Amino acid sequence: MSKVPRIPNLGGARAFVLHRPHPTVQAITRQLSAIGLETVGCWPELPAEALAADFVFFDADLGFDEQFPWAPGEAPMPLVALIGSEAPGRIEWALSHKADAQLLKPVGNAGVYSALLIARQSFEARKLLANEISSLRLRVAERQTIVRAVEALSKGAEDGRAYAQLRSLAMSWQISVEEAARRIVAMTEEEGGDDQSHRA
């Protein structure tokens, strides 16, 4: 049975609304205040303190990359795109910033709360996935390092014996097999560099 995500308490959170002065901003601010969030309106760009925000709402219709103090797709908080124009280029631009939820303009008296919850959950899932991918890449890189270390230790002998030697070295150095493999590879590369300098 899958675990049902708990609805977070959003009271006290801080949201920046990156949108020109407009009734849309007033409607969002009213709803955010009713939920218990502090709202900061800004235009034409986000100030540096927005890096500590809990949420950012941004205008997908008139937005541009330079408004954000981070690279496209690397926001450190959930983003909610405010969409009025469904022009493909504008939607594509909002997607390039990895908007976690959207609100269609004109914004009425509802919709902000669900957008916040969806944005938060989508952002957390994306972060979790990115961490898992990073961990998998690191493990693949470590396995490649182990293979290189075993090759360096084997020198024509059996790989099984070389791997046992690597494990024995790791135990005697009191470090992980991966760290021992990194040391072996580094020493091998240093020796290779020294050989080339002697030949020169």
Under DSSP, is residue 81 helix (H, G, I), strand (E, B) or coil?
strand
With contact defined as beta carbons under 8 Å apart, do 46 and 69 qualify? yes
CA distances from 91 to 59, 86, 96, 102, 191 (A): 11, 6, 9, 10, 54
Structure tokens at 84: 């009025």
Arithmetic mean of pLDDT over the chain? 88
Angle of helix 177-199 versus helix 112-154 axis, rounded to 10:
60
pLDDT tens for residues 73-102?
999 999 999 999 889 999 999 999 999 999
Q: What pLDDT is attached to residue 200?
A: 43
pLDDT at residue 4, rounded to an integer: 52
Mean pLDDT across the stretch 21-33?
Answer: 94
Residue carrying the six token digits 């961990």: 135
Separation between Cα atoms, residue 184 and residue 196, nearest integer Å: 18
Q: Find out whether the peptide bond into 106 is cis, omega within 30 degrees of 0.
A: yes
- Read off the pTM: 0.71
pLDDT digit string (tens) for 131-151?
Answer: 888 888 888 888 888 888 888
Domain ranges of the chain: 14-110, 137-199
Nearest Cα residue to 100 out of 82, 85, 86, 88? 82
CATH class of the region 14-110: alpha beta
Residue showing tokens 């240093």 = 190
Band (1; pLDDT cuts 50, 70, 90): very low
pLDDT for position 64: 94
Per-residue pLDDT band for 197 (boundaries 50, 70, 90) equals very low
Identify the helix (H) or strand (E) that includes residue 134: helix 112-154
How do residues 71-81 score in pLDDT, each as one tens digit? 999 999 999 99
Q: What angle do CA 15, 16, 21 make, to 5 degrees?
A: 130
Choose among 42, 79, 39, 44: nearest CA to 63: 44
The percentage of the chain sitting over the pLDDT mark of 90, rounded to a whole number, equals 55
Q: Average pLDDT, stretch 13-38?
A: 95
The CATH classification number of 137-199 equals 1.10.10
